[in-house]
Amino acid sequence: MPTASPPQTLDQLRVVVTRPAHQAERLCRLIEQAGGIAIRHPVIEIVAPTNIQAVQDKLSQLKNFSIAIFTSANAVEWLFHIAPSSFSWPDNVQVAAIGKRTASILKAHSIPVDIIPDQGFNSESLLQTDAMKSISDKQIMILKGEGGRTLLATTLKQRGASVETIDLYQRKRPNDGLRNIQQTGKSGNIDLFIVTSNEGLQNLFEMATEKERKWLLKTPLAVISERTAQLARTLGFSHESVVAGEASDEGLLDSVEQWYADRFRRGIQRGE
């Protein structure tokens, strides 16, 4: 009997991508190019901030700050959605980006990035950079979405910085529930969910009905941080989450491919 060869692609693996609709396509294409089936199911909607005029007023004060920190790619995109037509980035302000994707979009808008973590790509990693350790008496503006974590602002204040924030967008939970997944993937045939934030995972859990949660909690997850893996344990997911080695589309794909290859090998060893 010939020996089975390990899979070279994702081989029709059915993967639910839960990113906001405007951010999901690149990851979906990577999954499909690797032979998987990407099922788009956003669990977060990105919408305009509550008070656009207040945001524009704060943007006019940016020139008075030493450092501006962008906490997400959405913050960059919404800056240019709602800034006045006369707005231009002040040259005297250093720019920090929380991750590679955020930095890439800033550069695409001709805004040079001065500070970025070497790895990790979260608030903790940014705070570990040399530039964020010596900020006593500096004026720092954090460009972000409404709500979210406060670790960055709190820590910078503790280190002696004067910190203000601009909320450039809101995150909302869609009202669709999981009906689209049932229609597209027949729920029980879903192999994996990809979730890229704690808020997204919480939304996914809350969007499911009591009956849907029974299969949801039994379905494997791929996430981009140990924080989200810990939340999955708390919510009752039965599989240990696949944690991406890097918080990027490529990092997620690599981890999913490795997980799939390991699952294949375990199946061969059991004679499945």
Which positions ≥6 away from 269 have C-beta within 8 Å?
Answer: none
Domain contains 168: yes
Q: Residue 118 above 90 pLDDT?
A: no
Domain count, the chain: 1
Q: Residue 141 above 70 pLDDT?
A: yes
Give the pLDDT confidence of 3-61 residue by residue, as tens digits. Answer: 454 445 798 899 999 999 989 999 999 999 999 999 999 999 999 999 999 999 999 99
Q: What is the pTM of this model?
A: 0.81
Give the pLDDT confidence of 232-271 residue by residue, as tens digits. Answer: 999 999 999 999 988 889 999 999 999 999 887 776 444 4
Give the pLDDT confidence of 185-229 residue by residue, as tens digits. Answer: 444 588 999 999 999 999 999 999 888 898 899 999 999 999 999
Here the CATH number for the domain that contains residue 73 is 3.40.50.10090
Domain contains 110: yes
Predicted local distance difference test score (pLDDT) of residue 183: 54
Pairwise pLDDT comparison (183 vs 161), residue with the higher score: 161
Total residues found in the chain within this entry? 272
**Residue 159 near residue 135, CB atoms below 8 Å:** yes
Domain contains 256: no
CA-nearest of 136, 169, 168 to 155 is 136
Which positions ≥6 away from 53 have C-beta within 8 Å?
Answer: none
Predicted local distance difference test score (pLDDT) of residue 189: 81
Predicted local distance difference test score (pLDDT) of residue 180: 63
| CA distance from start to end of the chain | 14
CA dist., res. 211 & res. 203, Å (int): 16
Domain contains 51: yes
Range of the domain at 139: 47-172
Predicted local distance difference test score (pLDDT) of residue 8: 53
Predicted local distance difference test score (pLDDT) of residue 122: 85
Cα–Cα distances (Å) from 37 to 34, 114, 185, 191, 216, in that order, read 9, 38, 10, 10, 18
Predicted local distance difference test score (pLDDT) of residue 156: 97
Q: Residue 167 above 60 pLDDT?
A: yes
Predicted local distance difference test score (pLDDT) of residue 186: 47
Predicted local distance difference test score (pLDDT) of residue 2: 47
Domain contains 109: yes
Tokens of 241: 């989450």
Predicted local distance difference test score (pLDDT) of residue 11: 87
**Residue 161 near residue 138, CB atoms below 8 Å:** yes
Tokens of 6: 């390990």
Give the pLDDT confidence of 55-109 residue by residue, as tens digits. Answer: 999 999 999 999 999 999 999 999 999 999 899 999 999 999 998 889 999 999 9
CA dist., res. 40 & res. 31, Å (int): 11
Domain contains 163: yes
Helix axes 73-82, 52-59, angle to 10 degrees: 100
CA 145 to chain centre: 13
Domain contains 15: no
Domain contains 133: yes
